[in-house]
Chain A
Amino acid sequence: MTFNISLAGFVFRIDSLYDEIYNMCSSYIVSSEDVDFTIKVCKEDIEKERERARLQEEREGRCHEDFSASYLETLAVYRRIAETMPEHDVFLIHGSALAVGDSCYLFTAPSGVGKTTHTKMWLENIKGSFIVNGDKPLIRRFGDNFILYGTPWAGKEGWNRNTSVPLKGIVFLNRGLENRIWRVSASDMLPFLISQTYRPSDIKAQKKTLELLQSLWSHVPFYKLECNMDKEAALIAYEGISCQSGT
């Protein structure tokens, strides 16, 4: 089936083999005929995703999961999009994006640290907070400003909203006994930031992604948050960021 979706301000025509991607993208479908990119994946792309998933399971020591071809197609489509976008000042990053008003904060951490738990704490304790994307948002550069976009690719929970919010901070989450937040230098966090950013296969797109990350560091503050599982963690994080960014 063929349908158009809007992501990060661009219109993509998706030519899919299965319905799952259409259902997943339902909130992002547009009728515009001004298409910027056409994304068509084939069975070979789906099999490549199956192999990638198998290798990742091996690396992480997880049990084998037999993914459906329709699910793997959703991954193949997003991979194509992520490969294309750096040239247009857009990149994909792994993290949970929360917003309050017109300020968005991206929380990033290794798997298992507690991004989902911390996200829930914000929703329960920070008035007016909402999730833009719980797993794989897109970030677009406009001059010195960075805007974070919701996407349908939103992890197990599927938390996402079809909206865009100015990015005002990136928070590296760590577990701690107490709750504290402080500004960190980009060079300290760069290896982790790169590991959480989609790495295109094309060398030109890789270089462009690094240029975007360097620009991001120049214009968006980075924070480190040590937190436990108390609700105070969300309050201290929000107060710390608001206070230091003046939002």
Chain B
Amino acid sequence: MKLKYEFVVMDMGGEYSAVPVGDDTFHGILKLNAIGAEILEQLKEETTPEKVHKYLKEKYPESTDKEIGENLVNFLNYLLKEGILVGP
């Protein structure tokens, strides 16, 4: 899986907005928290949910597998629904 567009993540004072770049049409923006911005960063290159989960587990060792898994699945499903995420 990989992002359909390249995104520029803008830090608007602790709130993050991801803006797609690459073609001449503005597709809207994604509003994210800090973890969402990190997941998006991981999705710039071809990866798998398991790899992203492992990355987040290492980054946030205090969180349980279940917490990370649920948040990750919700976010990935959102990206899939919006047509932003492509691939297997």
Bound Cα distance from A194 to B7, whole angstroms: 14
Bound Cα distance from A203 to B22, whole angstroms: 5
Query: Which one, A187, A194, A203, contacts B6 given CB within 8 A?
Result: A203
Beyond A203-B6, A207-B8, is A194–B19 a contact (Cβ under 8 Å)? yes
A190 at the B interface (CB under 8 A): yes
B21 at the A interface (CB under 8 A): yes
> Nearest B residue to A210 by beta-carbon distance?
B8
Main DSSP-derived SS at the B contact region: strand
Docked-complex contact B29 and A190, CB < 8 angstroms: yes
For chain B, the count of residues having a C-beta within 8 Å of the partner chain is 16
B50 at the A interface (CB under 8 A): no
Query: Which one, A199, A201, A213, A214, contacts B11 given CB within 8 A?
Result: A214
Docked-complex contact A190 and B24, CB < 8 angstroms: no
Min Cβ gap A215→B in Å is 10
Bound Cα distance from A217 to B28, whole angstroms: 18
A235 at the B interface (CB under 8 A): no
Bound Cα distance from A199 to B28, whole angstroms: 13
Beyond A191-B29, A207-B8, is A186–B13 a contact (Cβ under 8 Å)? yes
Main DSSP-derived SS at the A contact region: helix
Docked-complex contact A187 and B12, CB < 8 angstroms: yes
Docked-complex contact A191 and B12, CB < 8 angstroms: no
Interface residues of A in 191-247 (CB under 8 A from B): 191, 194-195, 199, 201, 203, 206-207, 210, 213-214, 217
> Nearest A residue to B6 by beta-carbon distance?
A203
Bound Cα distance from A190 to B26, whole angstroms: 12
Docked-complex contact B21 and A187, CB < 8 angstroms: no
A185 at the B interface (CB under 8 A): yes
Give chain A residues whose Cβ lies under 8 Å from the Cβ of B28. 191
Interface residues of A in 170-193 (CB under 8 A from B): 185-187, 190-191
Q: Mark B1-36 against chain A: 1 for CB-CB distance below 8 A, else 0.
A: 000001010111101010101101010110100000
Docked-complex contact A214 and B24, CB < 8 angstroms: no
Give chain A residues whose Cβ lies under 8 Å from the Cβ of B24. 199, 201
Bound Cα distance from A187 to B26, whole angstroms: 16
Query: Which one, B13, B21, B26, contacts A185 given CB within 8 A?
Result: B13
Bound Cα distance from A207 to B6, whole angstroms: 10
Bound Cα distance from A185 to B6, whole angstroms: 25
Q: A186-B12, A206-B8 are in contact. List 13 more A-B contacts (CB 8 A).
A: A186-B13, A187-B15, A190-B10, A190-B29, A195-B26, A199-B24, A199-B26, A203-B22, A206-B22, A210-B21, A213-B10, A214-B11, A217-B12
Interfacial residues, chain A to chain B (CB-CB below 8 A): 185-187, 190-191, 194-195, 199, 201, 203, 206-207, 210, 213-214, 217
12 contacts between A and B (CB under 8 A): A185-B13, A185-B15, A186-B13, A187-B15, A190-B12, A190-B29, A201-B24, A206-B8, A207-B8, A207-B21, A214-B10, A214-B11
